[in-house]
C-alpha cells in the first residue's frame, strides 16, 4: 500500500520526482535559461569555426545558430515557448558583441574605443541578418506548431 498522500500541516508541497531538475532543465525539457545557454554555446562554436577560417561570422555560424534555435524550440518547456521566439535576436546580439570585441572585422580595430566597437557590432548585425532571420523564423515556426498542438490536446 502507498503511504497517505495527505500533506502535513506547515509542509510545502514538493514537485513529483519527474519534474525535479536544475535551473537549465528537467525531465520535461529545457527552461528558458537552459535554452539561452544552449543557443549561446552552439552559436559560440559556430563563431569560433568561422573566426578560425575568416574574420567574421559566416556560414558555419549561421547554420549552427539556426539549428540551435530550432532545437531549443523543440525541447523547451511548453510555458517557455514564447522565450524561444525572442531568444534568437538577443543571443545574436550577445554573440555579435563578443565577436566584435574578440575579432574585429577586416578594417576594424579596437583602438578607437567604444565608437569603433559599436561600429563593428553594427557591421556584424547587418552582415549576419540572413542568419538572424533564419534562426528567428525557424524558432517561431517550431514554437507556433508546438503551441497549436498543445492547444488542440487540451
Q: 72-92 pLDDT, tens per residue?
A: 999 999 999 999 999 999 999
The pLDDT score that the predictor gives to residue 111 is 58
**pTM metric for this prediction:** 0.76
When pLDDT is cut at 50, 70 and 90, the band that residue 25 belongs to is: confident
Domain ranges in the chain? 28-153
Name which of 70-74, 91-95, 100-104 the model is least confident about: 100-104
Q: Has residue 101 got a pLDDT over 50? A: yes
- Provide the pLDDT confidence category of residue 139 given band limits of 50, 70 and 90: very high
Q: What percent of the chain has pLDDT over 70?
A: 81
3-state secondary structure (DSSP) of residue 101: helix
- Nearest-angstrom CA–CA distance, 102 and 125: 15
Report pLDDT for 106: 58
Q: What is the pLDDT of residue 93?
A: 92
Q: Which of 43, 103, 45, 102 is closest to 72 using CA atoms?
A: 43
Whether the per-residue pLDDT at 17 is higher than 50: the answer is: no
Q: How does 72-89 read in b/e, with b if 16+ C-beta sit within 10 Å?
A: bbebbbeebbebbbebbe
Average model confidence (pLDDT) across the chain: 82
CA distances from 58 to 52, 55, 64, 144 (A): 11, 9, 10, 28
pLDDT of residue 10: 53
Amino acid at each position: 500500500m502507498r503511504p497517505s498522500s495527505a500533506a502535513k500541516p506547515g509542509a510545502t508541497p514538493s514537485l513529483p520526482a519527474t519534474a525535479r531538475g536544475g535551473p537549465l532543465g528537467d525531465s520535461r525539457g529545457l527552461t528558458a535559461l537552459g535554452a539561452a545557454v544552449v543557443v549561446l554555446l552552439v552559436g559560440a562554436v559556430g563563431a569560433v569555426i568561422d573566426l578560425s577560417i575568416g574574420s567574421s561570422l559566416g556560414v558555419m555560424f549561421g547554420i549552427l545558430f539556426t539549428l540551435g534555435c530550432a532545437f531549443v524550440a523543440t525541447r523547451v518547456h511548453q510555458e517557455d515557448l514564447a522565450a524561444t521566439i525572442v531568444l534568437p535576436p538577443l543571443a545574436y546580439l550577445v554573440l555579435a558583441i563578443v565577436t566584435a570585441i574578440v575579432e574585429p572585422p577586416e578594417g576594424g580595430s579596437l583602438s578607437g574605443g567604444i565608437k569603433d566597437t559599436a561600429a563593428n557590432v553594427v557591421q556584424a548585425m547587418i552582415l549576419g541578418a540572413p542568419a538572424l532571420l533564419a534562426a528567428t523564423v525557424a524558432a517561431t515556426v517550431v514554437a507556433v506548431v508546438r503551441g497549436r498542438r498543445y492547444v488542440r490536446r487540451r
